[in-house]
């Protein structure tokens, strides 16, 4: 079974549960629900490959790609609101 497969209709992919930020408040690393710690670029590649649930990547005005939480109307689970580690 791959990370993208479902078990009993439930998404079994990892989720982002905590973040690290730099002095400017920019996200620099992520902790997943399985305990893995991913640097920003590593997490971006996994998000783009569909391996992490609840997030997506987008191309910013500067041409760079960024990670953001899926729009679900709940501001409490935005990446900026997740606990720090």
* pLDDT for residue 4: 53
46-50 average pLDDT score: 98
The span from the CA of 56 to the CA of 12, in Å, is 16
pLDDT digits (tens, 9 = 90+) for 52-83: 999 999 999 999 999 999 988 888 889 999 99
Mean residue pLDDT across the chain = 92
* pLDDT for residue 55: 97
C-beta atoms surrounding 24 within 10 Å: 6
Whether 41 has a pLDDT exceeding 60, the answer reads yes
* pLDDT for residue 75: 84
47-54 average pLDDT score: 97
């Amino acid at each position: 079974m791959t990370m993208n497969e479902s078990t009993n209709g439930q998404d079994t992919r990892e989720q982002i549960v905590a973040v690290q930020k730099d002095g400017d408040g920019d996200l620099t690393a992520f902790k997943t629900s399985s305990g893995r710690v991913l640097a920003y670029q590593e997490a971006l590649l996994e998000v783009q490959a569909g391996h992490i649930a609840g997030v997506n990547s987008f191309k910013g005005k500067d041409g760079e790609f960024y990670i953001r939480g899926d729009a679900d109307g709940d501001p409490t689970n935005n990446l900026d609101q997740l606990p720090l580690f």
